[in-house]
Structure 1
């Protein structure tokens, strides 16, 4: 498994993050908590790309999920060693960064135990049900959690590090977790042939637990978290992927608390 050039490209988004940092079982995590009533026994695990939850773009998305009534936790699975943001600024910086060495330190085999620690600690705090949304690198871990049915809802945003069709077929045969894939036009990690394989394996009602794939034309791998929002198609893709994710979470029980009137 390896990453691609688009895995480390991006644009920093403007905004003021409103969440808080907490240490959960030794893992620093950025947390978005709804301001009103919410389902305290449910948490959305926000599994970041290679820039980690220190990237403001990720924090703003976590905050947005919280505004929609969903408690969201983004663990720092790279222990403050996510890729530096200034790599966005020039091709020279991207070319000079030693991505293979970084991946050797922080591949899924290294990050999964940290994620498991966070999940275990949240269970001790009373959380019983988890959803997971992963971006690029994080998409790999979303699949891994679903293979073991640890989560109850999955969202993969332009997922990286998947082997198609092997991982798709394994998901189909081992998981009971509803799957949403937010995909795009240009994606070396999850290209159109893999997208079509996913539809063939899961689509037309074959995956009884729930499957949907959204496609955002004119977008490139990374669009849902690091896309250039000055491009109308990318802006529409980023916003569309977020809306699709919230709708998917609501469909499978992660909506905000509704006060019934008599």
Structure 2
């Protein structure tokens, strides 16, 4: 196993190879961004005892397939996530955002610069959030859903945890945070059968260029399918909270969504 350099947040440390510079697993971009314009068209429903935002395709669609949308720390209240879920529904997939963020960071705190994320993380460990996701997955399976794809953004790294247990069939992660590198990457290859797409970017403290390159190396022989998209000129959070007035960020946000939808159509 490769050396662990340091951890500013013990439970969520980022492990690096000795030749990689040590870096935090969180950054200011985890609590910053831009609220997007639009009116969500989905509904709030209870699945497995959990409130969920549900975006349903119009017309006929495969009832045995679902996309589980794991949002960032702003939770369901952030309109951006609901709009993305609606877009997945427009591509033919029923999409569900589980309310697994027990205490969503208020949208008003975006860019405020003084929110205590460390304390928030202490209240949102796997022992709190994972059972919520498991309840939703179990309920979907009981309803006859045989193929579940999961897409996660930042805190939505739980896509990895679900994939470790093969609780999902397909995985997409955009600018992940809180990953243990290379431990989680190696564990994924060893344990999961879910094809994986990573949407990465140029400036990303939680998942830097060095970690991206390491992921490509580790997943180089992953038999179930792996791809990494890279978006120049984009920073952590671009796929869900990016400033769309910046042409490169807009292209990155739209490009990561298209790549994700294509991945689900190919593998789900």
Question: Deviation of residue 108 (structure 1)?
Answer: 2.9
Question: Deviation of residue 251 (structure 1)?
Answer: 0.7
What is aligned with 2:208? 191
Distance 2:229 2:126 in 1: 25
CA contact (8 A) 2:175 2:204 kept: yes
Deviations 1:171-213 (A, max 9, x none): 111111100000000111111011000111113xx11100000
Which of 95, 99, 102 in structure 2 is aligned with 1:72?
Answer: 95
What is aligned with 1:259? none
What is aligned with 2:27? 4
Question: Deviation of residue 149 (structure 1)?
Answer: 1.0
Distance 2:128 2:214 in 1: 29
Does 2:128 match 1:110?
Answer: yes
Distance 1:250 1:150 in 2: 19
Please, what TM-score do these two structures have when normalized by structure 2? 0.89
- Alignment RMSD (CA, Å): 1.0
Q: Which runs of 5+ in 2 are unaligned?
A: 1-11, 13-24
Does 2:141 match 1:126?
Answer: no
Does 2:107 match 1:85?
Answer: yes
Question: Deviation of residue 28 (structure 1)?
Answer: 0.9
Please, what TM-score do these two structures have when normalized by structure 1? 0.91
Q: Which stretches of structure 1, 4 residues or longer, exceed 3 Å deviation after superposition? A: none
Does 2:195 match 1:173?
Answer: no
What is aligned with 1:160? 177
What is aligned with 1:219? 234
Question: Deviation of residue 127 (structure 1)?
Answer: 1.2
Distance 1:3 1:29 in 2: 26
What is aligned with 2:8? none
Which of 48, 53, 62 in structure 2 is aligned with 1:39?
Answer: 62
Does 2:43 match 1:20?
Answer: yes
Question: Deviation of residue 25 (structure 1)?
Answer: 2.2
Helix, strand or coil for the counterpart of 2:123? helix
What is aligned with 2:4? none
Deviations 1:118-158 (A, max 9, x none): 111111222121110000000x2101111111111000100
Helix, strand or coil for the counterpart of 2:210? helix
Distance 2:50 2:261 in 1: 26
> Mapping of 1:93-108 within 5 angstroms?
93-95=112-114, 97-108=115-126
Distance 1:25 1:38 in 2: 22
What is aligned with 2:252? 237
